[in-house]
Amino acid sequence: MIRFLQTPGPIKKFVLGGILVIISLAMLVYLIPSSGNQSFGNPNSHIVAQVNGENITSDEVHQTAQQAAQQDAARYGEAASKIMPFLMAQETQRAVEQLITRQALLTEAHRMGLRVTPEEVRDELQHGRYAAYFFPGGDFIGQQEYEMRLQQANLTPAKFESSVGDDIILSKLQALVSGTATVSETEIHDQFLKQNSKVKFDYAVLKQDDIKKGLHPTDQELKAFYDSHKASYANSIPEKRKVKYAVVDYNKAEAGVHISEADLRDYYDQHRDQYRQPEQVKVSHILIKTPLPGPDGKVDGKGVAEAQQRAEDLLKQVKDGANFEDLAKKYSEDPGSAKNGGSLGWIGRGQTVPEFEKVAFSLPKGQISGVVKSSYGFHIIRVDDKHDAELKPLDQVKSEIEPVLKRQQAQQIAQNEAQKILNQARTQGIDAAAAAEGVPVITSDFFSRKDVLPGLGPAQQFMDAVFMESDKAQPDMASSSQGVVVFQLLAIQPPSTPSFDEIRSRVEEEFMNERSSVLLSQKTQELSDRAKAEHDLKRAAKELGAAMKTSDYVLPDGQVPDIGSMTGQASVAFTMKPGEISGPIMSGGSGAVLELIDHQQPSEADFAAKRDEIRDQLLQSKQQEIFELFISNLRDQMEKSGKIKINQEELKALTRTGTEEGM
């Protein structure tokens, strides 16, 4: 066990940031020990892959995938259970790739001689993303508490600290590889023009809805359309089922639940981490950027000195009583915060560069720093407010805990009562079993999966269970948002194909949509051809009944009514000359033809103001591209040389298991 968290000594800070997801896999996933004595290729070995002799196990893959799938599923609410099998299958494949790539990068980093020191790991724990957890308020929680928290996550200090060290090594590798990226002045200027040029144009618009109004299809046309599209109507009337069911309601069960003080205390003690408030500061700053390294890797010393002098001048103005917000809005070169008077809002540890963080968290509330240098430039920092790290007391969170415990106990009570009804229903019938417990029984009409039945609310699990049930099956049980449901399948109505008469209105709507879309495309092409031949868009528009409009000056990422985003087909306007007429531009239910009025170039003064921001954007993009290419080449080389081996049988088995578990 490494005991260095309280060791004094100089800290060599390594900045973590901008790392791809493969570098920052959740620590609780990839630290599961693998069994080194299992043979690769044995279907029972549970080794999914080997990277340079290092095993990647099914446990690692499964837990990585499960964690990612659960995070994804949280966005879907009630629908989560339905799509969980798909998410698990998807995330299992992704987890394998991530874990292989991570190990491949570590192998290459070690080959290149990259190492990490205990001091660097200690500094990352104390000042990086784990600081609020292990060093709240800057003070270590103590070795015993540290080990206990790791033990709760099935980790040892050695394993955890090793994983943190791996992250630092991978960060060093990325910095080394992507550090070769450079951006030329020509590239910066071209990107500036691309982002800031404006165009203004006349445009003629045709609407699909207008064309549709003129369509009056005959029955013969509609029947022909129905026959030609019959495959799309096959079994379009969904399967329906009829059930008899009884709902053991959660709310009724909850009404009889009493939560004791001991219950509250037990839950609180088991979920303390949920109620920890990390240390935060509310800060504002003024940033004066320093020049980036040139193509030769050197930084312009004169430019750095000038930036520092500008920052010193602004600090003097602040100390002399100038308004901080006004100076930030006028002079700060951080565009995101400048417009807000320099405010960055509330930040926690690990969210900013180390030099900035150290000052921001050490200043008292209301104080303003001196000039602080970071990798971005020179900052003047003001601390507007502070929240110390703390564990919220039980009295403060009782109102949050009590409803959770009530619902948990109510669900268990409902589950037990429903199980009792189910057991009796399988011998006595559902009516008698439910009546014995005072629960009403409802007999449904035929319904589809998308319908909502009385007393159930959203009930995806119930619907899944009903539609998986076989004919003449025994009573069964499933959950809904309102309670636990005991049900008996009564009848099945299979899917069917509707006749023309049954869906005539649908056929007519689809016919008109398809026909009007074709006519819109043809008519817009004719509009463009006429306008170009006559050198007159307005005349062509009048002849074909198109509406004439004129745009404002619009940027490449702008929007224009009836045309939509200028990043789509309308982007052709930025390549045109004044007076030139475009081809057809289709956007949703509209077709348009443009005639350029003016192409307005931004000023060099604008370029000077935005140059650094664009340079940073381009540089970050290039760094990302370089590192992604490095990863791709590394994987390719290691696969060709046999250093990466994938156990396809184990992978298939794992994918099947994940899919079944998701169900």
User: Is residue 16 in some structural domain?
Assistant: no
pLDDT of residue 260: 94
The residue type at 433: A
Least confident of 242-256, 283-297, 308-322, 644-658: 644-658
Mean pLDDT for 618-624 is: 91
What CATH number is associated with residue 45?
A: 1.10.4030
User: Under DSSP, is residue 468 helix (H, G, I), strand (E, B) or coil?
Assistant: helix
Give the count of alpha carbons within 13 A of 600, CB side only. 14
User: Is residue 552 in some structural domain?
Assistant: yes
Is residue 594 located within the same domain as residue 615? no
How many CB atoms are located within 10 Å of the residue 10 CB? 6
CA angle, 356 as apex, 351 and 360 as ends, to 5°? 90
Is the pLDDT reported for residue 13 higher than 60?
no
How many CB atoms are located within 10 Å of the residue 508 CB? 17
Is residue 511 located within the same domain as residue 485? no
Is residue 297 located within the same domain as residue 328? yes
User: Under DSSP, is residue 593 helix (H, G, I), strand (E, B) or coil?
Assistant: strand
Number of residues assigned to the chain: 663
User: Is residue 500 in some structural domain?
Assistant: no
pLDDT (tens digit per residue) in 511-531: 999 999 999 999 999 999 999
pLDDT of residue 503: 94
Least confident of 69-78, 144-153, 235-244: 69-78
Is the pLDDT reported for residue 3 higher than 60?
no
The whole-angstrom separation of Cα 486 and Cα 479 is 9
Is the pLDDT reported for residue 198 higher than 90?
yes
Looking up tokens 């990043």, which residue turns up? Answer: 567
User: Is residue 419 in some structural domain?
Assistant: yes
The whole-angstrom separation of Cα 168 and Cα 180 is 19
Give the count of alpha carbons within 13 A of 138, CB side only. 9
Higher-scoring residue by pLDDT: 43, 472? 472
Is residue 32 located within the same domain as residue 174? yes
pLDDT of residue 77: 62
What is the DSSP annotation of 81-141?
HHHHHHHHHHHHHHHHHHHHHHHHHHHHHHHTT----HHHHHHHHHHSTTHHHHSGGG---
Is residue 28 located within the same domain as residue 128? yes
The whole-angstrom separation of Cα 535 and Cα 539 is 9
The whole-angstrom separation of Cα 52 and Cα 46 is 17
Is the pLDDT reported for residue 15 higher than 60?
no
User: How many H helices and E strands in the chain?
Assistant: 24, 19
Is residue 582 located within the same domain as residue 642? no
User: Is residue 499 in some structural domain?
Assistant: no
The residue type at 112: M
Q: Which residues of 445-481 are buried (b: 16+ CB within 10 A; e: fewer)?
A: eebeeeeebebbeebbbbbebbeebeeeeebbbbbbe
Which range of residues forms the domain containing residue 539? 198-233+505-600
The backbone torsions φ and ψ at residue 339, rounded to the nearest 5 degrees and listed phi first, read -65, -20
What pTM, to 2 d.p., does this model score?
Answer: 0.54
Is the pLDDT reported for residue 617 higher than 60?
yes
Higher-scoring residue by pLDDT: 31, 452? 452
Q: pLDDT confidence of 654, banded at 50, 70, 90?
A: confident
User: Is residue 1 in some structural domain?
Assistant: no
pLDDT (tens digit per residue) in 87-146: 787 888 888 899 999 999 999 999 999 999 989 998 888 888 788 778 877 788 888 888
Is residue 39 located within the same domain as residue 176? yes
Is residue 637 located within the same domain as residue 570? no
pLDDT (tens digit per residue) in 398-407: 998 999 999 9
Q: What is the percent of the chain where pLDDT is above 70?
A: 90
The whole-angstrom separation of Cα 385 and Cα 403 is 33
The backbone torsions φ and ψ at residue 127, rounded to the nearest 5 degrees and listed phi first, read -125, -5
User: Is residue 15 in some structural domain?
Assistant: no
Is the pLDDT reported for residue 265 higher than 60?
yes
pLDDT of residue 138: 77
Higher-scoring residue by pLDDT: 172, 7? 172
The whole-angstrom separation of Cα 131 and Cα 279 is 9
* Contact criterion met (CB below 8 Å) for 183 and 293: no
Domain count, the chain: 5
Is residue 378 located within the same domain as residue 402? no
Q: Which residues of 170-184 are buried (b: 16+ CB within 10 A; e: fewer)?
A: bbbbbbebbeebebe
Q: pLDDT confidence of 656, banded at 50, 70, 90?
A: low
How many CB atoms are located within 10 Å of the residue 258 CB? 7
Is residue 76 located within the same domain as residue 31? yes
Least confident of 36-50, 241-255, 298-312, 390-404: 36-50
Is residue 416 located within the same domain as residue 471? yes
Radius of gyration of the chain (CA): 33
Residues in Cβ contact with 294 at an 8 Å cutoff, skipping those fewer than 6 apart: 182, 300
Is the pLDDT reported for residue 287 higher than 50?
yes
Is the pLDDT reported for residue 478 higher than 90?
yes
pLDDT of residue 266: 93
pLDDT of residue 262: 94
User: Is residue 498 in some structural domain?
Assistant: no
pLDDT of residue 295: 59
Mean pLDDT for 258-265 is: 93
pLDDT of residue 78: 58
Distance of CA 654 to CAs 31, 57, 365, 509, Å?
A: 19, 10, 53, 46
Is residue 56 located within the same domain as residue 155? yes
Q: pLDDT confidence of 82, banded at 50, 70, 90?
A: low
pLDDT of residue 239: 95
Of the candidates 345, 371, 387, which is a domain's last residue? 387
Residues in Cβ contact with 560 at an 8 Å cutoff, skipping those fewer than 6 apart: 203, 551, 554, 566, 570
pLDDT of residue 299: 74
